[in-house]
Amino acid sequence: MRKFRICLPTIFLSVFMLLATIAGSAHAQNESSAAAEAEVPQALGPDAMKSLVSKLNENQTAALVELMQLLSAPAGKDEVSAVAQGPGGAEIVKQWFTDFGANLKTQLLSFPQMLASVGKSIRTALDGREAGGNLTFLLLFVATIAIGMIAEWLFKRSTSARRERIRQSHPETLIDTLKVLSARAGIEMGGVAIFTIAAMIALNFLITADNDFFLASSFILSFILTVRLTGAVMHFILAPRRPELRLVYTDTWTAQFIERNFILIAAVVGLGFFIKAVMEQYMMPYVDTFRFWLGLSIHIWLIVIIMRAQQGLTQIISGDDENLTPGLRRMAAWWPAASAGLVAFNWLFLQFVLSAGHQELSPERSVSAIAIIVMAPFLDTIVRGIAAHLVPSGVDDTAVVARAHNETRLSYIRIGRIGLIGFLIIVVGKLWGVSLRNLTEAGFGAQVAANFVGSLLILALGYLAWEVTNLVINKRLATEEPDGESGAEGGTGQTRMATILPIFQMTMQATIIVITVLLALSQLGVNITPLLAGAGVLGLAIGFGAQTLVKDIVSGVFFLLDDAFRLGEFITVGATNGVVSKISIRSLQLRQDTGQLHIVPYGSMSQLTNNSRDWVTMKLRFTVPFDTDQDQVRKLFKKVGQEMMEVPELAEVLINPFKSQGAADVTDVGIVIRGKFTTVPGGQFVIRKEVYNRVQKAFEVNGIEFARKEVRVHLPEHVNPDDLSANQKDAIAAAATDEPQVPR
């Protein structure tokens, strides 16, 4: 059974979420200090003012007096206009680049001091103990880790039978694969949880000093736990050593390469967490510089991973679908380079924002936003995998059913993509501090933007309604299996629902388009009342001026309600006949057996003959000489009919077997004996050919000949034909051509 592989976005999410808090505490400190500096002091009393002035020297006092004069002087007209106008766009951009360069220069120059600060924080953490204290602390810490590992080993031993069953399992479906992976991940996560809990409990008993407990617990939670959790996530997604359990469609080298590098990244990030916590604990400077260099290193590392594994990432995005759309194929090809560019842009943009002093976009939010954007194609792979699981392709499906199955699967994919895009827009908007409510409460420009966003949401909902309509109709079409196959000369055709639903689908789509466009225009502020009035007048004008069109449409509605014809049926309309190949609102298309395509408006169809409904009886005529035994012919016909009913392929088509109807006519050649049989629509032609072949062989075996026209020449008794000369024979033959033909 074909396994459907999906891709989970946690490949990048695990790392980006680990990076998201690197800048958190330092950013919070900056915000708190800025808020403290921005606090407005209470009014100073006379005593406080005297005390403040007494502490100033002469230069400071003169500067204070000059400042008071400037504040008390009225602002000039030019100054007021300059303040009102503010800096221009070019000046703002220039200031951004200036601040960015200054911040970058500061971080580069502060690199040695940052290293010194890290070393000093580590030395401070190790100093202050008595002789042998560091060794004692190290031994107690190792004992804590050992206790946690023993507890985890006991847990794994208790689940050894379950782990062995997982090791020997070979799931065939997506659901079974997820069950196996979930069970394995649950055991692995449970082991990590047991290790952490046991280690922390042992830590509380073995290490009592606050400083030592902080160092040990920070290392366990920041470094060990981060690495273990990342490894468990990678095992769940990539299954690097068990390709049959791999949720993503990629090769083993890519899976092992991504797993190895992301675990190393987790180790670096976890160690960075620990060092940052130690620096903050001992209030060391250059924490921002440490965060800057750690973030830069991780971003560069991610770009290198993406570029080296770009072929495998392309496989992950494209999956194992052989019928990829051109758009998805192009996206899979260029996404690795684009995601690497987004990672680089994220770092640059974050540095620009922080350099400009804007604290609304925190590093955590920026990293989370870029993680969501980068993982979008992987989420799309999940959507495609779920859709493939919900609508598996059938091997023996007919063309119509296979097309309906494919359209149903595509509808599931498109609906999932709409939900995915909406989710990403909402989450990214929240991370960036943008919401529709805030826009509507802002100024005129923001309200215009809000109306535009609202219009886009209406269009998205309209498209969602479009896809839901297609999904419901295609799911129903996928169950409408025809009773037989249509042909150039007739057949059962499609079911009634398979004929009517496409017309209903077109009507619903047109209605959705009109309503969605009108609502979107109304959201943009366009008055749609004149449009509705104009549409009514236009419809009235069309009703009067295009009576033939209205007649065709109304006639078509009643033909469909009467179930007069269906797709694939062989019908006759006047002098035209053919198979119904397409049905539209005002006409139908008939495909003749010789290939011609006839367009027949419904209004011109005064009478219709359906040759493909329920059953077909075909009557055949056989002419035999006058001296033939008719009872013998009847028995031969019955025998032929019984033999054909014993053939499974023919019995499936036959409703009533072939049998004789006796003498139907007498001609100047012989006696006409008629036979008949009844089949399903479209099967009469195969049976007719078989009947002719079998009757001919039966007549030949029993010495019966088919009657044919002859000319007999009657000679007197005394004339011997052998004595006639050549001229006499020619004269007799010439005379015979003018005589009436009689049977032998």
616-701 matches 482-610 in CATH topology:
no
Contact of 703 with 681, CB cutoff 8 Å: no
The string over 315-344, giving b where at least 16 C-beta atoms fall within 10 Å of a residue's C-beta and e elsewhere, is bbbbbebeebeeebeebbeebbeebbebbe
Delimit the domains of the chain by residue range: 10-31+132-390, 482-610, 616-701
Q: How far apart are alpha carbons 240 and 527 in whole angstroms?
A: 60
Which residues have a Cβ under 8 Å from the Cβ of 243 and sit 6 or more positions away? Answer: 252, 255
Alpha carbon distances (Å) from 547 to 540, 543, 566, 579, 712:
11, 6, 26, 28, 68
Q: How far apart are alpha carbons 737 and 427 in whole angstroms?
A: 99
Alpha carbon distances (Å) from 694 to 312, 414, 637:
63, 56, 9
Q: Return mean pLDDT, the chain.
A: 75
Bridge partners (DSSP) listed for residue 588:
583, 600
Q: How far apart are alpha carbons 307 and 329 in whole angstroms?
A: 18
Mean pLDDT check: name the lowest of 391-395, 580-584, 686-690: 391-395
Task: Look up residue 276 and give its two tokens.
Answer: 């940052």
Q: Which of 75-84, 117-126, 702-711 has the highest mean pLDDT?
A: 117-126
Q: How far apart are alpha carbons 502 and 517 in whole angstroms?
A: 23
Q: Which of 20-34, 522-536, 688-702 has the highest mean pLDDT?
A: 688-702
Contact of 488 with 682, CB cutoff 8 Å: no
Which residues have a Cβ under 8 Å from the Cβ of 276 and sit 6 or more positions away? Answer: 22, 25, 26, 287, 290, 291, 294
pLDDT recorded at residue 127: 81
Contact of 155 with 191, CB cutoff 8 Å: yes
Cα 428–chain centre separation: 21
What is the band of 153 on the pLDDT scale with cuts at 50, 70, 90? very high
Q: How far apart are alpha carbons 387 and 410 in whole angstroms?
A: 8
* Rounded percentage of the chain residues whose pLDDT exceeds 90: 7
Contact of 616 with 607, CB cutoff 8 Å: no
pLDDT recorded at residue 497: 67
Classify burial at 79, counting beta carbons within 10 Å of its beta carbon; exposed 0-12, middle 13-18, buried 19 or more.
exposed
Compare 261 and 719 and report the one with higher pLDDT. Answer: 261
Q: How far apart are alpha carbons 683 and 681 in whole angstroms?
A: 6
CA-CA-CA-CA torsion sign (517, 522, 525, 529): positive
Contact of 688 with 618, CB cutoff 8 Å: yes
Contact of 493 with 442, CB cutoff 8 Å: no
Q: How far apart are alpha carbons 633 and 657 in whole angstroms?
A: 16
Q: How far apart are alpha carbons 212 and 232 in whole angstroms?
A: 29
By three-state DSSP, how is residue 526 classified? coil
What is the band of 75 on the pLDDT scale with cuts at 50, 70, 90? very low
Encoded amino acid at 547, one letter: Q
Q: How far apart are alpha carbons 117 and 283 in whole angstroms?
A: 10
Contact of 637 with 659, CB cutoff 8 Å: yes
pLDDT, tens only, 203-252:
988 888 888 899 999 999 989 998 999 888 888 878 888 888 887 778 88
Task: Look up residue 554 and give its two tokens.
Answer: 């109304």
Among 644, 624, 620, smallest CA distance to 700 is for 624
Q: In angstroms, how far is the first alpha carbon of the chain from the final one?
A: 70
Task: Look up residue 111 and give its two tokens.
Answer: 């690199």
Q: How far apart are alpha carbons 29 and 37 in whole angstroms?
A: 12
Task: List phi, psi (to 5°) of 601.
Answer: -65, 145
Which residues have a Cβ under 8 Å from the Cβ of 109 and sit 6 or more positions away? Answer: none
Cα 546–chain centre separation: 43
- Look at residue 91 and tell me whether its pLDDT is greater than 80: no
- Look at residue 447 and tell me whether its pLDDT is greater than 90: no
Q: How far apart are alpha carbons 606 and 604 in whole angstroms?
A: 6
Q: How far apart are alpha carbons 55 and 92 in whole angstroms?
A: 39
pLDDT recorded at residue 519: 83
What class does CATH assign to 616-701?
alpha beta
pLDDT, tens only, 337-377:
888 888 888 788 777 777 776 655 565 566 667 667 666 76
Average pLDDT over residues 104-123: 89
- pTM exceeds 0.85: no
Helical segments of 20-159, H only:
24-38, 46-54, 58-72, 77-85, 89-109, 111-126, 133-158
Tokens 């290293």 label which residue?
115
Classify burial at 403, counting beta carbons within 10 Å of its beta carbon; exposed 0-12, middle 13-18, buried 19 or more.
middle
Alpha carbon distances (Å) from 701 to 543, 636, 641, 696, 704:
70, 11, 17, 9, 8
Tokens 């070393």 label which residue?
119
Contact of 7 with 382, CB cutoff 8 Å: yes
- Look at residue 147 and tell me whether its pLDDT is greater than 90: yes
For the domain covering 482-610, report its CATH number: 2.30.30.60
Q: How far apart are alpha carbons 474 and 204 in whole angstroms?
A: 63
DSSP 8-state secondary structure symbol assigned to residue 2 = P
What is the band of 145 on the pLDDT scale with cuts at 50, 70, 90? very high
pLDDT, tens only, 693-726:
989 888 888 888 888 777 667 777 666 776 677 7
Tokens 């799931």 label which residue?
171
